[in-house]
Amino acid sequence: MQIRVDVYDADGVKVGEGPITTVIRASVERMLDGAGSISFSVPAHDTRAADLLQKERRVRLYVDDFGENLREVGRGIIRKRNYKASEGQWELTIDGPDMLDELKRRTVGINEEYENQTVKSIVEGLVDLVPGWSAECDVLDRLTARFDAVSVLKTLQKVCELQGLHLRFKLGVDSNVVQVGVFGEDAGLTLVNTDYPPLDPSQNREVAFLQDYTHEEDSEPIVNRLYPFGAGQNVDAALSLELSNRNDPAIQSVVLNNRRLYYIENAASIAALDGEIIEQFGQFKEIGPLENTDAFEELAANALHDAANAWLERRAFSQNNYAGTVRGHVKTINTGDKLTLDYVDVIEQAGKIIPIEQVKGEMWVMKAQENFSENGVILSLQLSDIDRHQQTAASVVIGSIEAIELQGTTVQPSFNHSPFGPEQVLIDSSNTGTVDLIISSKVLKVLEVTMRVRTKPFTATATAAQTTTSADGGDHYHLLGTFVSDASSVSAKRMLLAKSTTWPVPTLPLTAFIAEFQLNGGSVGDGWFTSSSSGDHSHTIPAASLDYGIYRDTERPGGMGITVNGVTVAEDVGDTTLDFDETFDITEAVLNRGGGFRGVHPVVISAAEGQGEVLVTFDVWSLVNPFKPPE
């Protein structure tokens, strides 16, 4: 057996004249749903290898069974170079993550949204963000979610988690390919113990002997009832299953502490535990409406149901974890595949063979580590009957619902109280008033709307001063002007007109009128009057000065009618002699507005009698999703 290493630069171009073939030992760890690692050592005196194996270069490890079986066992990135001298040996050891680590170095940016898209299109779009990578995914289930400021690998992992899928790196092809799917393919291998191999002669499959066997049974993570929440700053604001139309499993609800909570449960698990219910709250912070509309909220609620169900299925039953080693195996075992574990341990007591460990079934490969040396190949496996990674009781908490104050950088709906007003309208029995309540598109959900209505009399801040307009009594004459000069020259004659300053007499015919006035006996100081008297006429009176102060009317609007969006919320309320002050719940009128609650809600107020001011104040309790407007 020979281990060889091909070296590439960061752009995937091979460097060096042929592979490195002086590898002393190597180890490759393959992880399901994450990046594994590679490690190998070469003699320090191999200067060619030392020159090629520079940090951040890419390497591919192959095992060559002397020309009979060449297989790629690992691919990774050089991150550490360790020189070691010991007992006359000088080695250079290379360590680093496998190639999936490249996906950790690219982020999705801000506002990476998926609106009811297939997993296939989401995965392919994400992988396209990383140069030199492609994806294999045939999953057509749909997902609605948003991701912010996380790596491409983290986003892929979260997509898989939300959909009950897995990911892994694909070996044996020239390009870099990430595979996403359900997996569970048959690896074509049966593991048995060396002491008592219970082989079925009819099986036509490869057999390997398992050593250093361990088996752990763990019921600690079991959950069979889940109260899921999506994005939101607290459980009152977070997305729930309320608007989901999924029914497998059925959505149920219960009222606890004056809060209606929605949940799903695994009936088979409850039955297997004799009716015992193990419940948990869980938050899936990546799932939330991408817009503040009912349609997007339903899509998000359905995505929340799918994610919660995938999570619950993996935790509804006790998990069995197995580990062991296989020596001399020369076949690559992919994580996410299944192999058959057919293992029996027995003891002999009083002449009887008693089995003390007996396991037979299909097991998931969760982790595979191959160690290569001059002594051959050792394959270490971690297996499970459920495709769930081992977790402690603390790490089972989803999204830290018990510590929900720990927020990431995703958009989070928040509980909000918004007062509006007071808005003033003036009404009487002939004129109605209209006030508009406007609910923004930033509002995700309206919880309650109240409207306070108050009435007051009209109030003025000034009144006109009293003025005498004319003497009492019937017909009378009006003074037009007064003759003020008897100079002989017509041009020098003067007259003083009523309500005017001294005015120079112009040219005829007014000068002729003055001369005629003198010929008829008029003299200085005499006045000109209208030719006849009458009481049937009007006077033009100059504006009087204002008296300032507070002057209130004595009436209020009475017999009022109030409508919201055309829906009557009050009839015949208010009295013309008393101030009115009452609060109305208008939630239903707002929620049932044609076209949805986002927009303008006209409030129309009328009065059957009286007149005055009406003051309207709104209080809106809502969930707000503060989306930034697009550039």
DSSP for 354-405 reads EEEEEEEEEEEEEEEEEEEETTEEEEEEEEESSS-----TTTTSSTTGGGTT
Reported as a single tens digit per residue, the pLDDT across 176-223 is 999 999 999 999 888 988 765 555 545 546 888 888 999 999 888 899
- Is 376 a domain residue? yes
Are 172 and 72 contacting, i.e. CB atoms less than 8 angstroms apart?
A: yes
How many independent structural domains does the chain possess?
A: 6
The three-class DSSP label of residue 106 is coil
Please indicate, yes or no, whether residues 367 and 491 belong to a single structural domain of this protein. Answer: no
Ordered strands of the 502-504 beta sheet: 502-504, 494-497, 479-483, 527-529
How far apart, in whole angstroms, are the C-alpha atoms of residue 24 and residue 98? 20
With tokens 């140069």, the residue in question is 131
Among 564, 562, 566, 586, residue whose Cα is nearest residue 574: 562
At 56, the pLDDT band (50, 70, 90 cuts) reads: very high
Reported as a single tens digit per residue, the pLDDT across 528-539 is 777 777 777 666
How far apart, in whole angstroms, are the C-alpha atoms of residue 265 and residue 250? 8
Please indicate, yes or no, whether residues 144 and 197 belong to a single structural domain of this protein. Answer: no
Please indicate, yes or no, whether residues 263 and 231 belong to a single structural domain of this protein. Answer: yes
Are 386 and 366 contacting, i.e. CB atoms less than 8 angstroms apart?
A: no
In this predicted structure, what is the pLDDT of residue 203? 55
- Is 395 a domain residue? no
How far apart, in whole angstroms, are the C-alpha atoms of residue 413 and residue 32? 33
How far apart, in whole angstroms, are the C-alpha atoms of residue 610 and residue 604? 17
With tokens 């009716």, the residue in question is 275
How far apart, in whole angstroms, are the C-alpha atoms of residue 100 and residue 33? 10
Please indicate, yes or no, whether residues 557 and 456 belong to a single structural domain of this protein. Answer: yes
- pTM for the full predicted model: 0.68
How far apart, in whole angstroms, are the C-alpha atoms of residue 619 and residue 604? 17
Contacts of residue 330, Cβ cutoff 8 Å, sequence gap at least 6: 63, 65, 69, 71, 377
Quote the domain boundaries for residue 429: 414-461+552-624
How far apart, in whole angstroms, are the C-alpha atoms of residue 399 and residue 544? 76
Q: Does 4 score more than 90 pLDDT?
A: yes
Among 615, 616, 608, 617, residue whose Cα is nearest residue 431: 608
**Gyration radius of the chain's alpha carbons:** 46
Q: Does 26 score more than 80 pLDDT?
A: yes
Domain boundary among 281, 308, 335: 308
Looking at the DSSP assignment, which residues form a beta bridge with residue 76? 59, 98
Looking at the DSSP assignment, which residues form a beta bridge with residue 190? 207, 340
Phi, psi of 154 (to 5 degrees): -60, -40
Please indicate, yes or no, whether residues 364 and 293 belong to a single structural domain of this protein. Answer: no
Are 219 and 318 contacting, i.e. CB atoms less than 8 angstroms apart?
A: yes
Domain boundary among 99, 114, 139: 99
- Is 263 a domain residue? yes
Greater confidence (244 vs 203) lies with 244
- Is 468 a domain residue? no
Among 522, 608, 542, 533, residue whose Cα is nearest residue 570: 608
Reported as a single tens digit per residue, the pLDDT across 582-630 is 999 999 999 999 989 999 999 999 999 999 999 999 999 998 876 656 5
**CATH at residue 94:** 2.30.300.10
With tokens 């009819």, the residue in question is 202
How far apart, in whole angstroms, are the C-alpha atoms of residue 60 and residue 11? 14
Q: Does 504 score more than 60 pLDDT?
A: no
One DSSP character per residue, 290-310 reads SSSSHHHHHHHHHHHHHHHHH
- Averaged pLDDT for residues 23-34: 93
Helix residue spans in 420-559 (DSSP H): 510-519
Please indicate, yes or no, whether residues 203 and 322 belong to a single structural domain of this protein. Answer: yes
Please indicate, yes or no, whether residues 32 and 72 belong to a single structural domain of this protein. Answer: yes
Among 192, 167, 185, residue whose Cα is nearest residue 177: 167
At 402, the pLDDT band (50, 70, 90 cuts) reads: very low
- Is 46 a domain residue? yes
Ordered strands of the 14-20 beta sheet: 14-20, 2-8, 58-64, 70-77
Please indicate, yes or no, whether residues 197 and 93 belong to a single structural domain of this protein. Answer: no
How far apart, in whole angstroms, are the C-alpha atoms of residue 191 and residue 543? 111
E-assigned strands of 106-165? 112-118, 133-136, 142-147
Instruction: Determine how many CB atoms are found less than 10 A away from the CB of residue 54.
Output: 13
Instruction: Say which DSSP state 558 is in.
Output: B
Q: Name the most confidently modeled range: 86-95, 323-332, 427-436.
A: 427-436
CA–centroid distance for 411 within its chain: 4
Among 559, 285, 582, residue whose Cα is nearest residue 452: 582
**CATH at residue 441:** 2.60.120.260
- Is 215 a domain residue? yes
- Is 391 a domain residue? no
Helical pair 152-163 and 119-127, crossing angle rounded to 10 deg: 170
| Residue 583 identity (one-letter amino acid) | T
Reported as a single tens digit per residue, the pLDDT across 93-114 is 999 999 999 999 999 888 788 8
In this predicted structure, what is the pLDDT of residue 551? 87
Angle at the Cα of 119 (from 116 to 124), degrees rounded to 5? 115
Domain boundary among 66, 99, 132: 99
| Residue 69 identity (one-letter amino acid) | N
Please indicate, yes or no, whether residues 585 and 483 belong to a single structural domain of this protein. Answer: no
| C-alpha to C-alpha distances, 437 to 53, 451, 589, 597, 602, nearest whole angstrom | 69, 10, 12, 10, 6
Q: Does 495 score more than 80 pLDDT?
A: no
Please indicate, yes or no, whether residues 53 and 166 belong to a single structural domain of this protein. Answer: no
Please indicate, yes or no, whether residues 327 and 364 belong to a single structural domain of this protein. Answer: yes
- Averaged pLDDT for residues 392-420: 52
In this predicted structure, what is the pLDDT of residue 491? 56
Please indicate, yes or no, whether residues 25 and 53 belong to a single structural domain of this protein. Answer: yes
The average confidence (pLDDT) of the chain is 84
E-assigned strands of 498-610? 502-504, 527-529, 546-552, 560-564, 567-573, 581-585, 599-606
**CATH at residue 356:** 2.40.30.150
Instruction: Say which DSSP state 98 is in.
Output: B
Q: Does 401 score more than 70 pLDDT?
A: no
| Run of H or E residues at 269 | helix 267-272
How far apart, in whole angstroms, are the C-alpha atoms of residue 124 and residue 146? 16
Among 178, 163, 188, residue whose Cα is nearest residue 127: 178
- Is 134 a domain residue? yes
